[in-house]
Amino acid sequence: MQLVIDIGNTLIKSYVFEKDNLLHSKVDSNQNWNTSLEQLLHSYSGIQKAIVSDVHKKYSEELDEFLKQIEVSYCSTALKLPFTTQYEPKIQLGSDRIALLASCCLFYPNKDVLVIDLGSCITYDWIDSEGVHQGGAISPGFGMRFKSMHDYSGRLPHLDFKKTDDPVGTSTESAINSGVYFGILNEIEGVIAWHENKIKNLTVILTGGDAERLPKPFKNSIFAHSNFLAKGLNFILALNTFS
């Protein structure tokens, strides 16, 4: 058995795999992850290897203590990967993006793929049919846009996402909602259109916790498989264990 840990900006997700089969998954806040992980390790005592994606780079010491009986790899470009990248310097390519690109290689080999991950940030990454990551983009996600308008203005309120069908707001609250929602929508449409003008037979994958906030027309694109990032991490672990 192998353990996969995905540490994001607000949540820590843990998965137990038996080769390619997912046996267990758990989502915790960044505040109580250690108790949950201790219980998981007790329940699955046969875990021998683990891979960790940590966008913060601040949990390594605690995790090493928890996982001291397990061989642990931290996802980075230092590992053997199923793709090459044009990113420079390579070390700055985030572990979450690495995992998503690996999952693209696993599920969509020999295809041009644009993977869009909607989380705290929105990331765009293009991997071509030769398995070369051509690069991508990073922009603020839903929560970050709401928070920044509040933090960097004198009077704008801090709002949570509320679905809107009208790009013309008739109050401060509805104007903020419209600005964030349609700003993201138009951004994504523009990025997809740019890639489709450049690439024939482009496969577009939408993943991340906020992907379901997008409207139905986007569902003509491919919404990613369940646990898409985790399966990418598990794939990387296998490449560095069995090859």
Under 8 Å between Cβ of 103 and 228:
yes
**Largest alpha-carbon pair distance within the chain?**
59
Catalytic one of 20, 54, 64, 96: 96
For 161, how many CA atoms within 13 A lie in the half-sphere containing its CB?
18
**Concatenated DSSP letters of 120-138:** SEEEEEEE-TTSEEEEEEE
Long-range interactions of 199-202: CB distance < 8 A, separation 24+? 199/112, 199/126, 199/128, 200/112, 201/111, 201/112, 202/112, 202/113, 202/114
- The yes-or-no answer on residue 160 being catalytic is no
Residues classed as catalytic: 96
